[in-house]
Structure 1
Amino acid sequence: MNRNVEKWTINRACIFIVLIFLCANTGRCLREGEDGKIDSPVPIVLWHGMGDSCCFSFSLGKIQEILQNEIPGVYINSIRIGDNVIEDVENSYFGNINEQIQRVCEQLSQDTRLQNGYNAVGFSQGAQFLRAVAQRCPDPPMLNLISLGGQHQGVFGIPKCSDTSRLCNYMRRMLHLGAYLWYIQESLVQAAYWHDPLKEDEYRKKNIFLADINNENTISAEYKDNLQKLRTLVLVKFENDTMVEPTESEWFGFYKPGQTKEIQKLQQSELYQQDWLGLRAMEVAGKLHYLSLPGDHLQFTATWFVENIIKKYLV
């Protein structure tokens, strides 16, 4: 063997051994590309919640800072819909969510740094929107999806609204009467995941988003197959959540059809028993993970996020 070639081979082997040692001892494993070069850590896509933006320093800007400190060199794409943060906030309330998701799919497909796959972290409504991305747009591939307070069975309640408030009861009646009007569905983002258990038939027929991604009308084999391509789907529930009603929606639970008192868990639902989305298969395969923590909506510490999300699923 040529001495230069032999030396190169030995050096490469030594580097490989060192990388294995570092991976085993730090948990920070780099990926090797097809050309033999060492790639950067798995990229991360973030999608914020209602009334938030991609880039506020006190919300997702802080999350991005934590991620970059814990995963040096990681590339982060924090989704922004609109030309600036103000438009991004407005678009979290107004617009057709299906059109927004399609726009995000196009943005992700054109991002060359995501082509080998990415991890996704969704905050509140951003979680179910990222699930829609996983189901509808498998290229580039989403590897792990972290849902922080996502409303995967929708909501049936006004945030921080008590049953004794006359204003809240009025708003609730208005949504009860008009949430499924086509122009409300196509112009108000939250209406697209408003799930009225007293009007299940109307919800399934007229809801333009949630009923579709949950395969509640026509079973899409593509949605089901694409979701099961995830390595893990992590569902984080906030036990004292005052924003999401019912809170169990964060674990795919919801009211039993026809009433608003009794909650059924995911495993008791048709969604699971008929396996419309493949969630039962994912659970059997160990891909479906449930986490919970005390506190209100999206109230978690940096330490909790590092220990329970970053180190377990993103590094």
Structure 2
Amino acid sequence: MARRLLALVVALCSFSAVSAGPHHHRLRELVRVQGHKAVDEHAPALTPKPLPVFFFHGVTANASSGYNYQANLTAEGRVFVALNFCPSLCSVSALPGQVQAAITAVRTRVASDAAFAKGYVFIGHSQGAAIARAVIEEMDDHNVKMFISLAGPQTGVFYGPQPSDIIPRMAFTMRIGPQMIPSFDFSKYSGADYAAGKFQSDFNALVLGNPLLQQQLSVVNLGRSPVKKAWRAVNTFLPVINNVNPCGKGDKQCMADKTRRRRNFLKLKSAHFFGSPADDVVAPWQSSILGQFNDVVTSEDILLNFPLFRVIDMKLTDEYEYDTYGLRSLDVRGGLFLYAVPNVGHSCWVADSKPLGATEICRFQPVYENYIYPLLHKQGWGEY
């Protein structure tokens, strides 16, 4: 069964200052004063040096998912590390443990290679993007300068009424879900049931009523229930890294951890979140650019109000409005960027692929050259 699950999920889831005066006189400005530093304007410019890159793969994948990034980046002399701390079927396990394994892997490499002394870049794809952000927040000694999230479910997955949610929902209910949670009867729901929110209401009740699932499956950790209060109390991953998890009265450690995670996130120079309406895995696709569906009070409300569900913009979320982990602060200082890129399937951020329901292949290299390459060559973000 493990091999079958792996195969199924893999199938689903890239001037000089010289002026001429009269003939008997030349004026050359050699030096400009900046503060207390004298700058020779005719000295050769320093060549920017590329920062190393860590790559975090998606669910059921492994380090080979970073092959195209490795080929592009090592060709220009950049150090590239595709992490492999929990590959293949291991990546289906609960995410808090994977985050700690990732931190160990990053620290080990940084400690053994002087190339990382000036900082480094994190690139994460899909589940790997959520793990990468968690590492940034939980790793107190990180020196990540730039974070690039590619099709990462940063605010969680919920299969709503958007037309773009249909293919991701079908992929989950017909393939991934039955393999991971065989106790739930996915087959009993009709198209009308899905359109009315009956499946969504029932599955939400299952997840919120069985906290043990949070300790077992990454796909459950990445689910977002619109029943806000209950979800924040039960889910052990996303509410934590979004800093919206409830702290008990007098729980100083919980509050200190929130402060620490926010401080660590704000060590970033810039964060870039990419998503596409053509994503065939993440729903809503806006989760990749920090949007989310509206909240309700109970699971029953999902069924009652499902046709009215709407995605709210990042700036209207609690995470941004209350600056829970630093999004608004990073935005104010000019370091937060969201990209809604058309016609990029979920896997196309890392490789040539044909998205589910598509008729044409999506090519990785144009996506990389148009969107990722410029970021990696911007001084202060991808270079120093």
TM-score grouping bracket, smaller chain normalisation: 0.7 to 0.9
SS of equivalent residue, structure 1 residue 299: helix
Structure 1 residue 282 and structure 2 residue 330: aligned?
A: yes
Query: What is aligned with 1:257?
Result: 295
Q: Distance in 1 between matches of 2:85 and 2:207?
A: 23
Report how many aligned residue pairs link the two structures.
Answer: 272
Q: Distance in 1 between matches of 2:314 and 2:135?
A: 21
SS of equivalent residue, structure 1 residue 92: helix
The aligned amino acid for 1:235 is F
Higher-Rg member (1/2): 2
State the shift of 1:307 in Å: 3.5
State the shift of 1:174 in Å: 6.1
Query: What is aligned with 1:101?
Result: 99
SS of equivalent residue, structure 1 residue 230: coil
Give the unaligned 5+ runs of structure 2. 1-41, 160-165, 175-185, 191-198, 248-254, 297-301, 350-363, 377-381
SS of equivalent residue, structure 1 residue 179: helix
RMSD: 2.6
State the shift of 1:210 in Å: 0.4
Query: What is aligned with 1:37?
Result: none
Query: What is aligned with 1:79?
Result: 83
Report Cα offsets for 1:141-169 as digits up to 9, x if no partner: 11100001111110013863359987384
Map 1:267-278 → 2, pairs under 5 A: 267-278=315-326
Which of the numbers 360, 369, 381 marks the counterpart of 1:306?
Answer: 369
Q: Distance in 1 between matches of 2:67 and 2:367?
A: 17
Higher mean alpha-carbon deviation, 147-156 vs 287-296, is at: 287-296
TM-score, reference length from structure 1: 0.78
Q: Distance in 2 between matches of 1:107 and 1:50?
A: 17
The aligned amino acid for 1:299 is C
Query: What is aligned with 2:212?
Result: 183
Relative distance call for 1:169 and 1:254 in structure 2 (3 A) is farther
Higher mean alpha-carbon deviation, 177-186 vs 221-230, is at: 177-186
Query: What is aligned with 1:34?
Result: none
Query: What is aligned with 1:242?
Result: 280
Q: Distance in 2 between matches of 1:101 and 1:74?
A: 25
Q: Distance in 2 between matches of 1:147 and 1:279?
A: 14
Q: Distance in 1 between matches of 2:124 and 2:280?
A: 18
Report Cα offsets for 1:181-221 as digits up to 9, x if no partner: 23211111111121111x22221111010010101124511
Asked whether the 8 Å contact 2:136–2:142 carries over to 1, the reply is no
Greater RCO (CA < 8 Å, at least 6 residues apart): 2
The aligned amino acid for 1:104 is A
Q: Distance in 2 between matches of 1:109 and 1:168?
A: 47
The aligned amino acid for 1:53 is N
Give the unaligned 5+ runs of structure 1. 1-15, 24-28, 31-40, 83-87
Structure 1 residue 63 and structure 2 residue 41: aligned?
A: no
Q: Distance in 2 between matches of 1:99 and 1:159?
A: 30
Relative distance call for 1:168 and 1:138 in structure 2 (3 A) is farther
Report Cα offsets for 1:43-63 as digits up to 9, x if no partner: 1100011232111xxx32122
Report Cα offsets for 1:200-247 as digits up to 9, x if no partner: 222111101001010112451111111111010001111222211111
Relative distance call for 1:159 and 1:100 in structure 2 (3 A) is farther
Asked whether the 8 Å contact 1:178–1:184 carries over to 2, the reply is no
Relative distance call for 1:159 and 1:183 in structure 2 (3 A) is farther
Query: What is aligned with 1:92?
Result: 91
TM-score, reference length from structure 2: 0.65
Relative distance call for 1:140 and 1:280 in structure 2 (3 A) is closer
SS of equivalent residue, structure 2 residue 348: coil
Relative distance call for 1:47 and 1:168 in structure 2 (3 A) is farther
